């Protein structure tokens, strides 16, 4: 472990733009994302704050900066009194030695008032979170998939004229999944094509039903199946699983996501049942819960050619319990409800932890990460990603949280899938 050494880089006076500056009293403050807040190798992470004086007299600021681990443990505290000339600006920079790969919280304050909080990354590809799968992990999922295949899907496909458009025709799909549960989705087919690739889109936790794009030329490249897993989206009217995440958590056999993960596989079954689909070019995509489903699809089913998850949920519960407020409260609350140790709950969750599926993935993966995500912290994204051994790449969006810039990410995803078309 590196020694905890800190460096103050000093103040640079410069004329600067006032765009996006945050006003506090007489000085405006804005953060400069040095290196997009992602650092590697021997370079020390650097954080900068720009102080802007819009007035005709000298202004002073007592600036402080606290660097902490993403678990909340403070590492460094910097303090600097700065003077800014009239109609001028000053840049205050701080550098520190990151003790280990991971994500760090930065809090800037001026005159004891917080003005900015954000995360930075150091060597995210070297974050280590070992497998904690139980000995029967593989056999549990092998048996579950066999039980899914015993259920006849009974596909029902009905044209939806209202949702169809210029480039795609949309169909309502109903089918049977694990334990006989009825699930639904939208199947969008390119017009005028007899053979086409397909993408399966998995939705986020509790999302309202998404509808396919039908009117932009890009959508004509491939078919799309937007699946609603049990109790959510198109199936919410029939929900019997409460808040989903904690339902049946007392045992792996009864846990909600056992069935939901099988709905993920049944979606692949449906797409493969369509004669016009090129079975060598089936892709998976989704964000948050949908990101987890994408990785599960890639791990449990080799019919997926490539996957594009972003801000994936359901990963690294041992660390997630410490990093995610909602998840931590839910897991500890369930332990209290069941009157068991938290370790017992985490043992159950290990069967559904994305990082324990990661080693089974053989297709190429591209992952999108929101550096400021507090719902699915980036640490948990990389816990699973770093255990994937197939070809992979990632994109970190430094200013984004649990949602990525749609146009930018869609372009990345489109270019990635195009490699296999």
Helix axes 256-272, 289-300, angle to 10 degrees: 60
Which candidate in 228, 310, 373, 383 is catalytic?
Answer: 373
Report the distance separating Cα 400 and Cα 412, nearest Å. 16
Which candidate in 88, 278, 402, 403 is catalytic?
Answer: 402
Note if 263 is an active site residue: no
Report the distance separating Cα 234 and Cα 232, nearest Å. 6
Select from 212, 271, 220, 198 the least CA-distant residue to 417. 198
Note if 402 is an active site residue: yes
Through-space distance between the first and last CA atoms of the chain, rounded to whole angstroms: 45
Going across the sheet that includes 113-122, the strands are: 38-39, 113-122, 102-110, 59-69, 74-84
- Decide: 334 and 346 in contact? Cβ < 8 Å: no
- For residue 412, give every residue at least 6 positions away whose Cβ sits within 8 Å of its Cβ, in sequence order, or none: 308, 366, 368, 395
Which candidate in 93, 95, 164, 288 is catalytic?
Answer: 288
Select from 74, 82, 70, 61 the least CA-distant residue to 6. 74
- For residue 347, give every residue at least 6 positions away whose Cβ sits within 8 Å of its Cβ, in sequence order, or none: 134
- Decide: 401 and 374 in contact? Cβ < 8 Å: yes
Select from 180, 163, 181 the least CA-distant residue to 172. 163
- For residue 67, give every residue at least 6 positions away whose Cβ sits within 8 Å of its Cβ, in sequence order, or none: 47, 74, 75, 76, 77, 78, 94, 96, 104, 105, 106
- Decide: 373 and 398 in contact? Cβ < 8 Å: no
Give catalytic residue positions. Answer: 288, 373, 402
């Amino acid at each position: 472990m590196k020694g905890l050494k800190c460096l103050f880089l000093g103040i640079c006076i410069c004329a600067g733009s006032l765009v996006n500056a945050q006003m506090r009293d007489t000085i405006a403050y804005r953060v400069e994302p040095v290196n997009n807040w992602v650092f590697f190798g021997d370079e020390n992470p650097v954080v900068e704050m720009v102080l802007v004086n819009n007035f005709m007299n000298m202004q002073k600021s007592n600036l402080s900066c606290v660097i902490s681990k993403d678990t909340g443990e403070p590492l460094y505290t910097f303090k600097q009194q700065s003077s800014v000339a009239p109609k001028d600006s000053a840049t205050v920079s701080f550098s520190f030695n990151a003790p280990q790969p991971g994500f760090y919280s930065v809090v800037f304050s001026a005159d004891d008032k917080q003005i900015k909080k954000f995360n930075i990354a150091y060597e995210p590809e070297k974050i280590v979170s070992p497998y904690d799968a139980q000995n029967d992990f593989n056999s549990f999922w092998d048996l579950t998939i066999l039980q899914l295949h015993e259920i006849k899907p009974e596909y029902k496909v009905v044209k939806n004229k209202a949702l169809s458009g210029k480039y795609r025709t949309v169909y309502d799909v109903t089918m049977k999944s694990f334990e006989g549960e009825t699930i639904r989705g939208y199947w969008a087919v390119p017009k005028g094509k007899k053979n086409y690739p397909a993408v399966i889109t998995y939705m986020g936790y509790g999302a309202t039903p998404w509808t396919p794009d039908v009117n932009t030329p890009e959508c004509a490249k491939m078919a799309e199946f937007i699946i609603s897993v049990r109790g959510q989206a198109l199936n919410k009217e029939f929900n019997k699983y409460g808040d989903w995440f904690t339902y049946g958590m007392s045992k792996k056999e009864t846990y909600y996501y056992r069935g939901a993960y099988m709905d993920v596989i049944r979606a692949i079954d449906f797409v493969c049942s369509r004669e016009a689909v090129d079975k060598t070019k089936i892709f998976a995509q989704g964000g948050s819960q949908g990101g987890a489903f994408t990785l599960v699809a890639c791990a449990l089913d080799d019919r997926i050619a490539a996957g594009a998850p972003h801000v994936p949920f359901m990963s690294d519960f041992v660390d997630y319990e410490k990093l995610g407020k909602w998840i931590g409260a839910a897991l500890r609350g369930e332990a209290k409800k069941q009157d068991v140790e938290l370790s017992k709950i985490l043992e159950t969750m290990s069967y559904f932890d994305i990082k324990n599926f990661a080693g089974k993935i053989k297709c190429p993966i591209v992952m999108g990460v929101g550096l400021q995500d507090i719902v699915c912290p980036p640490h948990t994204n990389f816990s699973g990603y770093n255990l994937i051994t197939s070809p992979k790449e990632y994109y970190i969006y430094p200013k984004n949280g649990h949602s990525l810039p749609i146009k930018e990410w869609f372009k990345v995803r489109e270019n990635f899938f195009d490699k296999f078309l």
